[in-house]
Amino acid sequence: MGVAIVTGASRGIGLGIAAALVARGDKVCVTGRNADSLADAVAELGGSEHAIAVAGKAHDPEHCAETVAATLAAFGRVDYLVNNVGTNPVFGPVLDADADVVRKVMDINVVTAFSWIQQVWREWMADNGGAVVNVASVAGLRPAPGLGIYAVSKAALIHLTAQLGLELAPAVRVNAVAPAVVKTKFASALYVGREDEAAAGYPAGRLGEPRDVAGAVAFLLSDEASWITGQTIVIDGGSTLVGNLA
C-alpha cells in the first residue's frame, strides 16, 4: 500500500488516476478548486478510508504545503505524486497570445509541477523515496498548430521530468505521460460534436478515455517500473504515428 497525491483530480484524467490507485490498494489525496466536486470524488473513491481531499488552487504555495501536510497527517506518508493540473486558455498562433496569458500557462503547467515536486521532496521523499508522474501531452513532442503556448509548456514539463529524473535518482523516480485527446471536459473543444471525425485520425480507431491514462500512470508508480525514470510514455492511440498531435 502506498499513498499518493493527485492534483486536479475532481474529475477526468485525475479522478481516473486516483481510482486506479485506490483499486490496487493505495490511499490518495485528491485536489482541485471546487470543494463540492472533490467531496463527490472522495465518495466515488470509497470514502475517507481510501481518500481525502484538499480544495485550493494548485499554483498557490500555501495550498501545496497544506495538501502535503494533510496527507502526512491522514496517512503518514507521501509515496507518490501525480501532477495532473493543467490549463490551456488560448488557441491560435503563438504571437497572437498576450504575454500575461503565456506567463499564466507556464506558471500552472510547469512551475506549479516543479513546486509540488519540491514540496514532497523536502517533506518526505528525500529521506524515504518515492515516485512522481507528470501529465504532459503529445503536443509537447513537436510544434502543434493552434496549441503553441500549451505545447511549449508541455515540452518544458517533459524536459523538467528528464532533468529531475536525473537529479533525484536513485531515491525518487520521475516520469511523465503524454496523452493525445482524451474524452474529458478539459479537451471537449477538440472533439465535442465531431468525435467520429477526430477519432478517424487515430490508428486505434477511437479517442482516449481517462482509464487509458490511468493504467499507464499506475504502472509508472509501481515496483514493476522501478527501472524507469526520466521517461515520457506516449499514450495516443497511435496518433503520432501519422503526425496527429490533437
Catalytic residue positions? 150
Instruction: Find all residues with CB under 8 Å of 170, minimum gap 6, and list them.
Output: none
Q: How many residues does the chain have?
A: 246
Long-range contacts of 216-224 (CB under 8 A, 24+ apart): 216/177, 217/17, 217/20, 217/82, 217/133, 217/135, 217/177, 218/17, 218/20, 218/21, 218/24, 220/131, 220/133, 220/173, 220/175, 220/177, 221/2, 221/4, 221/21, 221/80, 221/82, 221/131, 221/133, 222/24
CB atoms within 10 A of CB 139: 25
Amino acid in the structure at residue 70: A
User: What order do you get walking across the sheet with 172-179 strand by strand?
Assistant: 51-55, 27-32, 3-6, 80-83, 130-135, 172-179, 232-235
SS3 217: helix
